[in-house]
Structure 1
Amino acid sequence: MQIAALARRAPRILTAHFLIAEDASLHSSSHCRSFRTFSLQNGSFAEIGHSNGCGLQYQWPHTASFCSAPADVDDTVKELYDKILKSIKVERSAPQNAWLWSLCEKCKSREDIKLLFDVLEQLRIFRLSNLRIHDNFNCSLCQEVAKACVQAGAVDYGKKALCRHNVYGLTPTIGSANQLLSYAKAQKDVKLMVGIMNHLRKNNLPLQPGTADIVFSICYDADNWELISKYSKRFVKAGVKLRKTTFDIWMEFASKRGDLESLWKIEELRSDMYKQHTIKSGFCCAKGFLLEQKPDSAASVIQAINQSFPDSKRQDIVDELQKLVTEWPAEVLKHQKMEDQKAFISSLKADIPALLSSLSNMGVKSSVNLEDLNITEPVSC
């Protein structure tokens, strides 16, 4: 029997098998190639490497490229800063790449970041005047700078790395932005996230699936539905293929609010991109059917999930069912109008037991105890 016939509003919800979503993170890699330029200091040649599509970088003959890891240097940030400035201002020669990499790695404070950005500006001037290099630094170095800013808690400096036109020779990348957004997520800083997203828009940086994952998580944790709605439109309009985990967050937020219209619209977008459900997105659809007072349809969704996932995921299914009974009713109740709460409570108290009964009749064993269904009646003013 086609499970799709159970639903009027979401015909494609149950047509696919419910399988695990395993999104592979997008990894970008660049290959370094080099050419040679004449050193103004001693008439010898120095290699100038650049990452394909990311701009040029200088490289002294015996040092590592900006595409490689920094060498071990025991100097402090200030000592490395002084070495680099001495090299370009006194010796008039390109400093070792390892010094700059290590400087980034060792930044622990705002004062360290100030030295880093000062030396970047000085290096950019040196590259322009002495090496005649007009392009920005390698993308890998720019992401390392953003990482240093996060490490030192100086994210306002990190935002400078997202500006297309800057005096530091930094190339804005979405990878750098994602590092800053991850910091905003860890700090639960919505204002910082908004500022970073504004920088991305002003500097025309392309959005990525990983960016959406972080932004949606921040909005969900902050319980800010208006903001997630705003940014979801931006990501969808940009043609970003949202990850299954991103849809999980978005659909769970809609189901928690009891927003049926949004939930089915999101499900339609999800089904256009993915034929297979995750456990979370499937349970969100089951919650949607409960909101429509269709416990049998909700049970059919959960049965399909139970049949499609391997035994190794059985506990995850049990946990989601437990949350549906013990946590979700109270969450969704908070978003109901006061005059609708009594009727809503009555329907859930009838439909959730009906759901569990249907699951039992379908042969789906459940350890959920109905005594855990504790929905408090609204208090009259």
Structure 2
Amino acid sequence: MQVISNARNLARVLGARTVLFISNQRFSSSLIQSHRSFLQCQLYGEASSGMCGSCYYLMPLHSVYPMISRTSFSTEAGTTDNNPTEAVKELYDNMLQSVNVKRTMPPNASLWSMIGNCKNHGDIKLLFDVLQNLRRFRLSNLHIHSNFNCNLCQEVARACALVGAIDFGKKALCLHNVYGLTPSIASAHHLLSYAKVHNDAKLMVEVMRLLKRNNLPLQAGTADIVFSICSNTNIWELISKYSKRFIKASVKLRQTTFDAWMEFAARRGDTDSLWNIEKLRSETMKQHSLTTGFACAKGLLLERKPEDAAALIQVLNGTLSDAKKPGITVEVEKLVNEWPSEVLKHQKEEDRKALAAALKSDISTMVASLLNIGLARSVNMEDLTKKEILS
């Protein structure tokens, strides 16, 4: 009956928290620190080239990157062979022959084919050389001053990421370049996706600097990738820094972004940040996901409120779809077997023993409450008592 009562009053449990988002000093101190993306473009095609144009409107769509193995998506795969492939070399020679000898613009298909056939760093080097030659020819012979359209830049950036030619890829994000490329946030997403696959926080920081320097607008998809990288690399200072930048830019964060952010805060045992993030999430989303719900449950456990944590999980079980409800048991098992050790790593050494004892007691109480309402029946509590870090 106590759990049911707590479940009915859960909104008051979380809603009564007096958190002042952003302006709250605690928040300030703890948070300081497409295969292709589709863009809606206004193209200004010309009979002589068919490749010029400028971005008209950039839609905040999710950047879906292909599932590529680390072998084919690694820097090493792109740099071990600097010799261009035969297919790309042939296309390169034909296009230069057209521009320098025939004095005509090569067919559109040749450039697109060259982009699609890039397999290594040498191919990318030839691609950027031909882009520079094409831009020069358009200016001097065709008197076309506009850049190639933004779709071309996206595919160039994607090709660079696929072969690991990141230095060339970063050139595609510069507003003023000699290649006639029109940078866009979608192009940046390809490099950020590369950084995510390789857990490369340094590259992420470099790309974010380029976005700021070239005034490229941040999107929800950008935050999704950035927050994931920060969480995977366990760098709280960066997620705190960039969260403020996204909020200042009025970017509407996705559920998946809050998942990464709140799970990270719960993993660190940072309840101050957790409740402030939850306040922000609740302003735009009515229901919890499995991840954010359990992040809040962990926050309640850290505050010695196991009954409230059980009540929250009960409410979560009622709001999730039938397909997602089995995840409740999985998350409870993770909470019992994995989270305590993780959260203790982030605490001061002198505080670990007391917190370990508290978690051992409160997690047992929470699981007992869940068992009373028919949840978490398969959770093995023996693992909790056997963990050395909790003994």
TM tier relative to shorter chain: 0.7 to 0.9
Match of 2:133 in 1: 122
Asked if 2 retains the 8 angstrom alpha-carbon contact of 1:30 and 1:51, the reply is: no
3-state SS of the aligned residue for 2:119?
coil
Q: Cα offset for 1:47?
A: 5.8
Q: Cα offset for 1:107?
A: 1.0
Match of 1:307 in 2: 318
Mark the CA change 1:338 to 1:8 in structure 2 (over 3 Å): closer, same or farther.
Answer: farther
* TM-score, normalised relative to structure 1: 0.84
Residue among 194, 201, 205 paired with 1:190: 201
Mapped pair 1:362 → 2:373: yes
* Distance across 2 between alignment mates of 1:263 and 1:130: 59
* Distance across 1 between alignment mates of 2:191 and 2:38: 17
Q: Cα offset for 1:49?
A: 6.0
* Distance across 2 between alignment mates of 1:317 and 1:364: 8
3-state SS of the aligned residue for 1:242?
coil
Mark the CA change 1:320 to 1:377 in structure 2 (over 3 Å): closer, same or farther.
Answer: closer
Mapped pair 1:30 → 2:30: no
Mark the CA change 1:48 to 1:335 in structure 2 (over 3 Å): closer, same or farther.
Answer: closer
Match of 1:345 in 2: 356
Match of 1:2 in 2: 9
Match of 1:285 in 2: 296
Mapped pair 1:376 → 2:385: no
Match of 2:22 in 1: none
Mapped pair 1:161 → 2:172: yes
Deviations 1:356-381 (A, max 9, x none): 111122333421011011442489xx
What one-letter code is carried by the residue in structure 2 that aligns with 1:323? Answer: K
Asked if 2 retains the 8 angstrom alpha-carbon contact of 1:286 and 1:298, the reply is: yes
Asked if 2 retains the 8 angstrom alpha-carbon contact of 1:212 and 1:246, the reply is: yes
3-state SS of the aligned residue for 1:311?
coil
Listed as ranges, the gaps of 5+ residues in structure 2 are 1-7, 20-33, 58-84
Mark the CA change 1:86 to 1:8 in structure 2 (over 3 Å): closer, same or farther.
Answer: closer
3-state SS of the aligned residue for 1:163?
coil
* Cα RMSD, aligned residues only: 2.4
Q: Cα offset for 1:214?
A: 0.8
Match of 2:53 in 1: 50
What one-letter code is carried by the residue in structure 2 that aligns with 1:343? Answer: A
Match of 1:266 in 2: 277
Deviations 1:56-76 (A, max 9, x none): xxxxxxxxxxxxxxxxxx971
Listed as ranges, the gaps of 5+ residues in structure 1 are 13-23, 40-45, 55-73
3-state SS of the aligned residue for 1:53?
strand
Asked if 2 retains the 8 angstrom alpha-carbon contact of 1:9 and 1:264, the reply is: no
What one-letter code is carried by the residue in structure 2 that aligns with 1:376? Answer: E
What one-letter code is carried by the residue in structure 2 that aligns with 1:286? Answer: A
Deviations 1:331-364 (A, max 9, x none): 0011111111121111111101110111122333
Mapped pair 1:174 → 2:181: no
For residues 320-331 of structure 1, the aligned pairs below 5 Å read 320-331=331-342
What one-letter code is carried by the residue in structure 1 that aligns with 2:10? Answer: I
341-350 or 286-295: which moved more? 341-350
* Distance across 2 between alignment mates of 1:271 and 1:368: 30
Deviations 1:272-327 (A, max 9, x none): 12111101000000000000000010001100111122322122111111101000
Asked if 2 retains the 8 angstrom alpha-carbon contact of 1:161 and 1:172, the reply is: yes
Mark the CA change 1:53 to 1:191 in structure 2 (over 3 Å): closer, same or farther.
Answer: same
Asked if 1 retains the 8 angstrom alpha-carbon contact of 2:219 and 2:251, the reply is: yes
Q: Cα offset for 1:27?
A: 6.0
Asked if 2 retains the 8 angstrom alpha-carbon contact of 1:4 and 1:11, the reply is: no
Pick the structure with greater CA Rg: 1
Asked if 2 retains the 8 angstrom alpha-carbon contact of 1:217 and 1:249, the reply is: yes
Match of 2:327 in 1: 316
3-state SS of the aligned residue for 1:162?
coil
Q: Cα offset for 1:8?
A: 6.9
129-138 or 25-34: which moved more? 25-34
Mark the CA change 1:249 to 1:130 in structure 2 (over 3 Å): closer, same or farther.
Answer: same
Query: Going by fraction, where is helix more abundant, 1 or 2?
Result: 2
Mark the CA change 1:6 to 1:47 in structure 2 (over 3 Å): closer, same or farther.
Answer: closer
* Distance across 1 between alignment mates of 2:120 and 2:138: 27
Match of 1:68 in 2: none
Match of 1:236 in 2: 247
Residue among 97, 109, 113 paired with 2:120: 109
For residues 62-77 of structure 1, the aligned pairs below 5 Å read 76-77=87-88
